[in-house]
Structure 1
Amino acid sequence: MAVTRIVANLSAPDPLALAQFYQEVFDMDLPLDMGWISFLANNSTQKIELHTASEGGSGTELPVISIGVDDLDATEAAVRAARAEIVYGPIKEDWGLRRFYFRDPAGNLVNVVDS
């Protein structure tokens, strides 16, 4: 048996509106909207990871999802342009990771990591 994918489900009172936010900020495709759930995707290949944690590191709250990006500064600018609140960072952590947290329009805490 092999895991072929892991999917994050973000809670939202308006799934399409939240999907459109992520589509705008992270330049993703919206291949399917069923009203109660919206799917976002891109064509990149990624490794599968599942983390378990008691906190987000550096004493922060545990985010619901981490998103790796190739340009943290551009992503921060896109998050700010979309009027989402950045609540931590950007910071280079002691363990070498550069990241920031933001709250999406549904209140989910999201970790954005320079990958």
Structure 2
Amino acid sequence: MTVKRITANLNSRSVSEMRGFYEAVFGLKLELDLGWIVTLGTGGDAPVQLSLAVNGGEDMPVPEISIEVENLDEVLAKARAHGCDILYGPEAESWGVRRFMLHDPSDNLVNVMMHV
């Protein structure tokens, strides 16, 4: 058996508000819209990963989702322009990533990171 995809499913108070956030801040594109659920993506294949944690590092809670980006400063600027409060960072971590954390419109904790 081969796992073909793992998809993060986040609780949402408003699908349209969440869609707007992830499109504006991360540039994701609509792939499926059934009204009660939307799927956003980059249009390409992504590696399958599942992280299991007891904490989020540096005394932070475990985030619901981690998003790796190419340019952390660009995404940070988009998040701030979107009115997001940055809860942590940006910080260069000892395990080789630079990251920041914020809540999405439904209060899911999002870890945004890039490898350095």
Return the TM-score normalized by structure 2.
0.93
1:80 aligns with 2:90: no
Partner of 1:31: 31
**Gap runs ≥5 in structure 2:** none
Is the contact between residue 92 and residue 98 of structure 2 (CA under 8 Å) also seen in structure 1? Answer: yes
Overall identity of the aligned pairs, in %: 43
Q: Map of 1:31-70 to 2, 5 A cutoff?
A: 31-70=31-70
For 2:31 and 2:17, the matched residues in 1 are separated by: 14
Whether the 8 Å contact between 1:85 and 1:104 is mirrored in structure 2 is no
* Shift, 1:33, TM fit: 1.8
What is the RMSD computed on CA atoms of the aligned residues?
A: 1.1
Secondary structure of the 2:94 match is coil
1-side partners of 2:57 and 2:44: how far apart?
Answer: 27
Alpha-carbon distance in 2 for matches of 1:44, 1:102: 25
Determine the C-alpha separation between the residues in 1 that align with 2:96 and 2:42. 27
TM superposition shift of 1:9: 0.7
Q: TM-score, normalised by structure 1?
A: 0.94
Query: Aligned AA for 1:16?
Result: S
Instruction: Flag as ranges the 4+ runs of structure 1 deviating above 6 A.
Output: none
Aligned length: 115
